[in-house]
Structure 1
Amino acid sequence: MKEIFVERSTKVLRIIIRQEKIIKECFMKEQDQKAYPGEIYMGIVKNIVPAIKCAFIDIGCKRNAYMYIDKKFKNINLKKGDMVLGEIVKEDQGKKGAKIVKNISIPGKYCVLNSSYNGIQFSKKIHSESFKKNILESLRLPAGIGLMIRTESENIPLEVVHNEMEKLYKVYSQVIKSAAYLQKPGLLFDNGGILGEVLRNKLIDDDFMIYVNNQEDYKYVEDFLKGLHNARVNLQLYTGNKNLFSYYELENKILNLRSNKIELKCGGYIVINKTEAMFVIDVNSGKNIKNGTMDKTVLITNLQAAEEIAAQIILRNLNGIILIDFIDMDNNKNKRKVMDKLKEGLLMDKNKTVIYPFTELNLVQIARKRMGRSINDYIEEDCGCCGGTGKKIKLSYMTLLIKNEILNMCYEKNIEDIHIDMDSFYESYIKKGTKDFIKDIGAENKRVYITYGKKISCKVEALLFASDIEDFKDFRVN
């Protein structure tokens, strides 16, 4: 059985998929008014730069989105001040805003409604000609719209696909109607955000247990499950005093994803590094010296590395260009084995992924479609003290961890005084907005004492004795 944990806090939505106590996938979304792939916005063209064939569009977020201008996109007549209905296809990164396209799509579990073409198309993974023929003869599409039949529809009754198509068209019609009356930039449709995306893409075949900590999310998942055919899913609303991830011992495992070194069973290891342009993964034999020959040692290390790399790409959401430096192999048969293992690991990946053959230098290149940011981007930020060459945990994420620690600490005892020892990195930021920080960690009704030192981690402790409180009285902040 697979488990899905959905934890929504004030500032962050986090979702984890776990199988046999091992985290397989992790998704995060900050509640910060940033556009997310799949969301549909009404925007206004603020500027057009002909030199790069690009329009910059105000969609009501902090940063303007950009749209490429080309005949194939049917947008060459755009001019400054035009209102544009479009869909986000790439989240903003760094100083670059989100990418938006003029056509829009409304995804469902079994099909996707699309405004960019007319007629019915099929997932490339659907090979049954009789199934395709049945769909083409039986489904009647509304005029001027396209429909993509998803892989999951192949084993369900046609009626289910038809009902979902009608449901999606009602949503599409409402979006178009709302856009006609909207006079300012803003979000029109989000389709459930990352929660909706996870439910549509991950609830396949297996039995699932879903835990949520929010009543609205519970209702959303409950309604979604009603539209599934033969769903084998149990849904539970978590109401414990501890936060959801701490109760199920997931918090530390998420923080472990900050490590760029992953050990292999054979004694070897891989190292994942991010550069400005790509992710680079290095494979090392490490302590794998038990095998009789060098060729066998290299093959075993590379095979285990290929399997682990595929898992880490999905888990950490590594995207864009990924370059893998396997240990050198001269045997073409062994290279094929490693390549097959890598492809096998990425077979169920919903992101569009292309794996290129070994180069002469034993490098493998992967191009993976960008869908959201990597997990490390949500947890870490550049360290100002070393000019950005190092990383530290984001204050926003550190705040979430502190809040969870306080919740756990106060689970059984009525704690009134709390000492927080933080790295001096955060001192100036906290002092600029102490009241907001206290609110964000859920300690408005507590007495909080903060000290700063040269530590990478953060320590939260209860002050239970009068002598302890006296020692820290000068550090009280509220």
Structure 2
Amino acid sequence: MSRELLVNITPQETRVAALDNGSVQEIHIERARSRGLVGNIYLGQVSRVLPGMQAAFVDAGLQRTAFLHASDINASQALVDRPSHEPRSIQHLLREQQRILVQVLKDPIGGKGARLTTQIAIPSRYLVLLVDNPGVGVSARIESASARERLRAIGTSLLDGDPHKGCIFRTAAENASEQALARDWQYLQRLWASIHARAQEAQPTTLLHEDLPLMMRVLRDSVDEDVERIRIDSREWHERMLSFSETFLPDARSRLEHYPGERPIFDLYGVEDEIQRALQRRVTLKSGGYLIIDQTEALTTIDVNTGGYVGHRTLEETIFKTNLEAAQAIARQLRLRNLGGIIIIDFIDMETAEHRRQVMRSLAKGLEHDQARTQISEVSSLGLVEMTRKRIRESLQNQLCVSCPTCGGRGHLKSAETVIHEITREILREARQFEMTRLMVLAAQDVVDRALEEESDSLAELEAFIGKPIVFQAEPLYNPEQFDVVLM
């Protein structure tokens, strides 16, 4: 599989597109005014302990207080000892006004504050340093038993019996030399010592460590042997990334390229078109079928339809092929749109158990390269597939869009007929309460047109009933649901 990374940089925004065999799989966006917080380390202060939720709110200097659950607190930080038979409780771990070192697990999403942890983890190219969490871990993506055993032995040597530190070997460490791993570990040790020293002198709500900007994180986290090249459209940042790679990722240096073309790099590779399509509800499949993707705060639903695809043999075969194609497209859309949380997929009902198994295998295979953790259930009795995908940052839609000011995010508007009925009820209400010589109705053009044409007979009856003339006037600035009844 051929993989490329495209980096588009402007002063206000950085965008990275990951392509597999020329097809866009992921889009990462970071804006100068709203950089992501995941990985940042703060000296926070507990503002409120919530025993009922087994959690606390922490002031870390962010716009909203952040959320810290008891399960994300190191047991070594307990304020008091507890009997072994008692469950772990937030009261044993935190008190209000306590200073506490925290790291951001999840960015603020919607109206929720950031999610925090006290289990500090600092990543580098090959390793993740774990603070107050001793032990050696190896990425599950490293499948070779001999490689896992080698890395565990190296990890034990690097820790040298330190009871306050642990480490995890990342996927990129599989073929790294012992010297490279040792250099990585020394870098992490120095970085943690610097953070710890600052924490001793800082005041609460201080930012102690900020994660790398997006383009550097991409180099650190996403470049492996499958990535053939990384193209950057900024000469300045190309030089910076070269310098960064010389120090931390020498193997990646030869794959960094500056793109000097006049045509925007995202236009050249069709990425801009993919972004626009990823903001639409409907996803057309090559066969003629389509998906409908609806994203809400609670969950995301995906409906599979045959559309114009009629197949060549039987109905069951048509349904099976549509579902197979849909499973692959869904796996790609989840990554492309960065959809997280609970996801409900409504495949077209299949009678054959083997067909259902193959569709589920196709979906699981499509998610193999997804860096976000996913869990997939079997097809339910209602024919639905329930799955979860770890949500770390905002979806592409939430990053690029705001709720429609006209419909308030509902995704639909009242019809002109409905608005006219509301106007009628308002006129009757006003006529019973107040004296007037006539009434003027201000409304959107579509509403006025319908009132004067299709509803003209009803309007005449209304005028006769209240005994007053009614005048309609179009207001170009009114949205389709907005109206005013003015007494004259």
C-alpha displacement at 1:226, in angstroms? 4.3
Counterpart of 2:134 in structure 1 is 118
C-alpha displacement at 1:313, in angstroms? 0.6
Counterpart of 1:50 in structure 2 is 51
C-alpha displacement at 1:162, in angstroms? 2.1
Deviations 1:31-84 (A, max 9, x none): 335652222222222222333222212222211211113596335342222222
Counterpart of 1:30 in structure 2 is 31
Equivalent pairs counted in the alignment come to 395
Q: For residues 47 and 141 of structure 1, do their structure 2 counterparts lie closer, same or farther at Cα, with a shift above 3 Å needed?
A: same
Counterpart of 1:148 (choices 152, 168, 171) is 168
Q: For residues 113 and 385 of structure 1, do their structure 2 counterparts lie closer, same or farther at Cα, with a shift above 3 Å needed?
A: same
Does residue 137 in structure 1 map to residue 153 in structure 2?
A: yes
C-alpha displacement at 1:212, in angstroms? 4.3
C-alpha displacement at 1:224, in angstroms? 3.0
Does residue 91 in structure 1 map to residue 91 in structure 2?
A: no
Counterpart of 2:256 in structure 1 is 235
Shifted more, 145-154 versus 43-52: the winner is: 43-52
Q: Which amino acid aligns with 1:366?
A: M
Deviations 1:368-417 (A, max 9, x none): 111211101111111121132139xxxxxxxxxxxxxxxxxxxxxxxxxx
Q: For residues 179 and 238 of structure 1, do their structure 2 counterparts lie closer, same or farther at Cα, with a shift above 3 Å needed?
A: farther
1:38–1:193 Cα contact (<8 Å) kept: no
Q: Which amino acid aligns with 2:365?
A: E
Counterpart of 2:483 in structure 1 is none
C-alpha displacement at 1:260, in angstroms? 1.4
Deviations 1:242-286 (A, max 9, x none): 765456653343222211111111111111111231110000011
Counterpart of 2:368 in structure 1 is 347
Q: For residues 168 and 381 of structure 1, do their structure 2 counterparts lie closer, same or farther at Cα, with a shift above 3 Å needed?
A: same
Superposition pairs of residues 198-217 of structure 1, within 5 angstroms: 198-206=218-226, 207-213=228-234, 215-216=236-237
Q: Which amino acid aligns with 1:141?
A: L
Q: For residues 44 and 242 of structure 1, do their structure 2 counterparts lie closer, same or farther at Cα, with a shift above 3 Å needed?
A: farther
Once residues 87 and 217 of structure 1 are traced to their aligned partners in structure 2, the CA distance between those partners, rounded to angstroms, is 30
Q: For residues 287 and 60 of structure 1, do their structure 2 counterparts lie closer, same or farther at Cα, with a shift above 3 Å needed?
A: same
Once residues 239 and 206 of structure 2 are traced to their aligned partners in structure 1, the CA distance between those partners, rounded to angstroms, is 26
Counterpart of 1:335 (choices 345, 352, 356) is 356
Q: Which amino acid aligns with 2:350?
A: M
2:238–2:258 Cα contact (<8 Å) kept: no
C-alpha displacement at 1:229, in angstroms? 6.0
Superposition pairs of residues 216-231 of structure 1, within 5 angstroms: 216=237, 218-220=239-241, 222-224=243-245, 226-228=247-249, 230-231=251-252
2:246–2:253 Cα contact (<8 Å) kept: no
C-alpha displacement at 1:156, in angstroms? 2.6
Q: Which amino acid aligns with 2:113?
A: G
Once residues 209 and 71 of structure 1 are traced to their aligned partners in structure 2, the CA distance between those partners, rounded to angstroms, is 36
Once residues 267 and 315 of structure 2 are traced to their aligned partners in structure 1, the CA distance between those partners, rounded to angstroms, is 44
Q: Which amino acid aligns with 1:210?
A: R
Counterpart of 2:10 in structure 1 is 9
SS in 1 for 2:249: coil
Counterpart of 1:254 in structure 2 is 275
Counterpart of 2:215 (choices 195, 199, 222) is 195
Structure 1 runs of 4+ with >4 Å offset: 237-244, 246-249, 452-455
2:302–2:345 Cα contact (<8 Å) kept: yes
Counterpart of 1:180 in structure 2 is 200
Once residues 354 and 47 of structure 2 are traced to their aligned partners in structure 1, the CA distance between those partners, rounded to angstroms, is 56
Counterpart of 2:385 in structure 1 is 364
C-alpha displacement at 1:151, in angstroms? 2.3
C-alpha displacement at 1:201, in angstroms? 3.0
Counterpart of 1:438 in structure 2 is none
Q: Which amino acid aligns with 2:144?
A: S
C-alpha displacement at 1:350, in angstroms? 1.1
Counterpart of 1:100 (choices 113, 116, 121) is 116
Q: Which amino acid aligns with 2:142?
A: I
Q: Which amino acid aligns with 2:133?
A: Y
Once residues 299 and 247 of structure 1 are traced to their aligned partners in structure 2, the CA distance between those partners, rounded to angstroms, is 35
Q: Which amino acid aligns with 2:166?
A: G
Report the TM-score, using the length of structure 2 for normalisation.
0.74
Does residue 159 in structure 1 map to residue 159 in structure 2?
A: no
Superposition pairs of residues 377-456 of structure 1, within 5 angstroms: 377-390=398-411
Counterpart of 1:442 in structure 2 is none
Report the TM-score, using the length of structure 1 for normalisation.
0.76
SS in 2 for 1:313: helix
2:232–2:238 Cα contact (<8 Å) kept: no
Q: For residues 290 and 135 of structure 1, do their structure 2 counterparts lie closer, same or farther at Cα, with a shift above 3 Å needed?
A: closer
C-alpha displacement at 1:179, in angstroms? 1.5
Listed as ranges, the gaps of 5+ residues in structure 2 are 78-91, 413-475, 480-488
2:311–2:317 Cα contact (<8 Å) kept: no
Q: For residues 217 and 49 of structure 1, do their structure 2 counterparts lie closer, same or farther at Cα, with a shift above 3 Å needed?
A: farther
Shifted more, 58-67 versus 368-377: the winner is: 58-67
Shifted more, 232-241 versus 254-263: the winner is: 232-241
Does residue 69 in structure 1 map to residue 70 in structure 2?
A: yes
Q: For residues 56 and 330 of structure 1, do their structure 2 counterparts lie closer, same or farther at Cα, with a shift above 3 Å needed?
A: same
C-alpha displacement at 1:118, in angstroms? 0.5
2:109–2:393 Cα contact (<8 Å) kept: no
The higher radius of gyration belongs to 2
Counterpart of 2:19 in structure 1 is 18
Q: Which amino acid aligns with 1:182?
A: A
2:30–2:36 Cα contact (<8 Å) kept: no
1:43–1:59 Cα contact (<8 Å) kept: yes
1:8–1:214 Cα contact (<8 Å) kept: no
Once residues 267 and 182 of structure 2 are traced to their aligned partners in structure 1, the CA distance between those partners, rounded to angstroms, is 42
